[in-house]
Chains A and B, each alone.
Chain A
Amino acid sequence: MIEIKELHKYFGALHVLKGIDLNVQKGEVLSIIGASGSGKSTLLYCTNGLEAIQKGEVIVDGVSVHSKGTDLNKLRTKMGMVFQQWNSFPHLTALENVALAPKIVKGKSKSEAREIARQQLEHVGLGDKIDNYPSALSGGQQQRLAIARALAMEPEYMLFDEATSALDPELVGEVLDTMRLLAEEGMTMICVTHEMGFARDVSDRVAFFHQGVMEEIGPPQQIFGEPTSEHTAKFLANVR
């Protein structure tokens, strides 16, 4: 379980997250929506310790992420992350991209790591691309590669930061399908997204962020059907 308590984050004087309280249960799919600059990405980075926090606490399976003694590298293997910019490693083949972290972070043998990588590439539908370099893959394929790379660490949580925003429209579908597949398999997911269809159909809950505050959270029918905050209503009216 991920527990976020009274989380405050500043960039210098800029107050980016203003006291976020949020729990995500095992097996849950949470979508986070909101205007750009509202602090959605920052929340994900704080959740897996890529950004420091100034106040509050993030607890993942009982471990406090920002406490002194926490082994962040170990913790991060529990949380796969997929970013908006496709950042597959250009100097490695698809297989090597996926096999590297299991090998050097988890200490798997070379053949074990390659086997895991092959399975995960198969899983995201890239079974026929294992020897390609990222430069020979489309944006959508690179994003699926990034998902496979994260899955190879056998994470218990997946964090998606606008995984489809940088893609050409015709490539968005294949990545959303892969994410949908993970949700069906029971993966716990936090998805920052601008795909309202995905948020409505796949998530258990939807959270709306506005200027560093989580204005409301609830089941998709409620958020999309009868939002309680006028900001939510306005935002949804604009994206439709």
Chain B
Amino acid sequence: MNQSISFFSGFGPKDLWFLPQAAWQTLVISALSISTGTLLGILFGWILSESKIIGAVTLGLVLDAFRSVPLIIQLVLFYNLFNVIGLAINPFWAGVIILAVYTSALVANVARGGIEAVGAPMRRASRSLGMNYLQTIRHIVWPIGLRAVFPSWVGVALGVLKDSALVSVLGHPELLKVARDLITRTQQPLLVLAVAGAFYFALSYPISRYAAHLERKWQS
């Protein structure tokens, strides 16, 4: 026992407390941006699949741009844009907003795939049974489409959880930023990295395994 304390000499109990706090920040940022990004993304996906008008084309191009530029560049770019236009906004909310928009671009693709997986003939069939538009969405498109794309949505959500680490470039103390600072201060890279890595892994691994399991179950 004594030995292990002296081994982690540069590392006080207070330091150890920073990591769960930072992990909580990562969780909050991810949860906020995944939930709003998903809602937005479903809306966008629906617009993309329903209308062939100019609006949908433009929306498609804009969303595609969010998927074609590194997130870290987007974060710096828009954070500075907020400053430039005089929108005083702290790194936390800037990070959440940008991540949410980024998420929505990814989810829009997934959602459109889901709607298209249901297929026009099936929608027409349900309309011919006398269901109105909303009933068709509610009883046909939603349950079938959800099954088709739920695993890919989980993939997107886990991707955003991991990408939330990039909010550190704005200076917000999420998990990897705090980990990095702690490493510099305490010179205990292995311990700190192990804790940080374990946090992501413990969240991501079981969820991705579960999604893969669901996918296999639903396919057969």
Establish whether A and B are touching in the complex (CB under 8 Å): no
